[in-house]
Chains A and B, each alone.
Chain A
């Protein structure tokens, strides 16, 4: 199995800030890493797949990057609607796995 470790578990920021969330895979996943956003009471929403490909309709202030087994989600110029919980997910193997989540708070 592949373990995904996200950090930080929570993060406080303000509108207009730039924030970075990281995710580390326990072994090589060849960049098969997705990012999701979840708001309370809602299903997760896909933001980025394959490390850095922005899902259609997602604002360009969201950016994903990768370096080896380390992955980063950067949100530029935070908007009020961006305060949510973010999850990474590896789909390198059929038994996919999620990170534990990062709660982004005002």
Chain B
């Protein structure tokens, strides 16, 4: 059974730093891209960042680019999100998720591949509060 467990959330002052972790089990971690998605209290889902299976390629939302760094340790089945220069608007529940993929049933490819990608497995989230 696939299991994702986030940790590392807490209360941080504006301008501070924190590292989130996601421990993954139940599947071959090193063969899947991973992602972080956040949800501010009472708000919708916001994609934050993704990392390729090898860790070589990373992607960030404009709202966190230059402040957050995603990484992974395939030897430990761990995903990380290093967050710096934190702002009040970063307050949210942070989910990690597996980027699942299957051969696309669509006639045309995406901009990156001919696989359909989706977030099939999610953790339960870890809460980050940025406040003085």
Contacts and interface: CB of A to CB of B under 8 A. Distances in A.
Listed residue (A29, A38, A94) with the most chain B CB atoms within 10 angstroms of its CB: A94
A62 interface: no
Nearest to B125: A43
B59 A95 contact: yes
B61 interface: yes
| B interface residue count range (under 10 / 10 to 19 / 20 to 34 / 35 or more) | 20 to 34
B106 A97 contact: no
B110 A44 contact: no
Contacts of B110: 29-30, 32, 91-93
A26 interface: no
Given A31-B106, A43-B125, A94-B59, A49 B118 contact: yes
A46 B106 CA distance: 18
A35 B15 CA distance: 35
A72 B32 CA distance: 29
A52 B118 CA distance: 13
Contact of A96 (B47, B57, B95, B109): B47
A95 B118 contact: no
Given A94-B50, A98-B44, A101-B45, A50 B122 contact: no
A100 to B, nearest CB: 5
Given A31-B106, A50-B104, A50-B106, A98 B47 contact: yes
